[in-house]
Amino acid sequence: MMRAASVSREIKVFFANIQGICAFFSTSPQRTAVLDDIVKNRLPRAVVTRWNFQSRSVMTIFEHREAIVECMKSLINDTAIHNESTICQASGHLKILTDKHFMYWLSFFSKVMPFIDIMFGQLQKTHTDPTVTQQIILGFEKNMLKIRSEIENDKSESMQSVPSKRRKINSDELKRQSIEVCDVITVQIQERFKFTGHLSAACLFMPENFPNYEIAFPDTTLNFFVTITTVSTKEKLRLNFKI
């Protein structure tokens, strides 16, 4: 996901803001109390090194954005709150939560991340058949292609050009960046799981698995092993595993 975030400065800023909003509440019991009262849902604690933190944070803020906006307003306007840092930060986060670019990326990543979560959940199982692995990856690529196509075919002009110190960002530029993110994530997944089947094939040679071969031999894994090696006598190899 770090590669995807490096597509543009705007995306880096988006994830930094996501982390900042979560940290804003997690570091103060008073702010957390207001969050519990209005949103009735805790934001994940900031753990920048974990993918699932980013995913859960994006999905939580996406689902409860309007309530979190009300929470920020309450922190700003509540006369019982005297902490200037809290008021200042709440004001800044309120602007972020209502910013069109932030809302665009929040919506975009809320579509992408559930598919990544599902895929990683399936692929992180201890024993994954190489054929199943390929099916999971192909399914993920299909979903990413669908999101990509929806972006390409979106004719809405809701995003007007917004001034920036670097350049103006309009709907066409946001589309381009979104499509690039889809492509980067897809390529990264392909690279990361390129040799997953090889690891599954290696399990064939684990002695603790040998007794199970009399009951149910992993023919699919053996077939894959044959395709990635020079072994041609599959039946002989199959027999040796059972000895």
120/219 same-domain check = no
Measured between alpha carbons, how far is 12 from 6 in angstroms, rounded to an integer? 7
Rounded to an integer, the average pLDDT of 67-91 is 93
25/89 same-domain check = yes
Q: What is the pLDDT of residue 130?
A: 62
118/237 same-domain check = no
Rounded to an integer, the average pLDDT of 129-148 is 83
Question: Domain for residue 1, yes or no?
Answer: yes
DSSP conformation letters of the chain: -HHHHTT-HHHHHHHHHHHHHHHHHHT-HHHHHHHHHHT-SPPPP--TT-HHHHHHHHHHHHHHHHHHHHHHHHHHH-TT---HHHHHHHHHHHHHHT-HHHHHHHHHHHHHHHHHHHHHHHHTSSS--HHHHHHHHHHHHHHHHHHHHHHHH--------B--SS--B-HHHHHHHHHHHHHHHHHHHHHHTTTHHHHHHHGGG-GGGGGGGGT---HHHHHHHHHHSS---HHHHHHHHH-
Q: What is the pTM of this model?
A: 0.72
Q: What is the pLDDT of residue 3?
A: 67
Rounded to an integer, the average pLDDT of 162-182 is 75
List the one residue out of 81, 85, 102 whose CA is nearest residue 18: 102
Q: Each residue of 184-218: pLDDT tens digit?
A: 888 887 777 665 555 555 566 666 666 776 677 66
Please check the confidence at residue 109 and state whether its pLDDT lies above 90: yes
Q: What is the distance of C-alpha 67 from the center of its chain?
A: 23
Rounded to an integer, the average pLDDT of 3-24 is 87
Q: What is the pLDDT of residue 74?
A: 93
Please check the confidence at residue 235 and state whether its pLDDT lies above 60: no
142/87 same-domain check = yes
9/51 same-domain check = yes
Q: Which residue bears the tokens 């975009």?
A: 108
By percentage, how much of the chain surpasses pLDDT 70? 65
Please check the confidence at residue 28 and state whether its pLDDT lies above 90: no
Q: What is the pLDDT of residue 70?
A: 94
54/112 same-domain check = yes
96/137 same-domain check = yes
80/41 same-domain check = yes
Per the structure, the count of domains in the chain is 2
121/237 same-domain check = no
Q: What is the pLDDT of residue 200?
A: 56
Please check the confidence at residue 51 and state whether its pLDDT lies above 60: no
Question: Domain for residue 41, yes or no?
Answer: yes
Q: What is the distance of C-alpha 207 from the center of its chain?
A: 37
Q: Domain span at residue 224?
A: 198-241
Least confident of 26-35, 77-86, 98-107, 160-169: 160-169
Which among 18-32, 38-52, 91-105, 229-243 has the top mean pLDDT?
A: 91-105
Rounded to an integer, the average pLDDT of 76-89 is 92
Question: Domain for residue 161, yes or no?
Answer: no
10/63 same-domain check = yes
62/74 same-domain check = yes
Question: Domain for residue 163, yes or no?
Answer: no
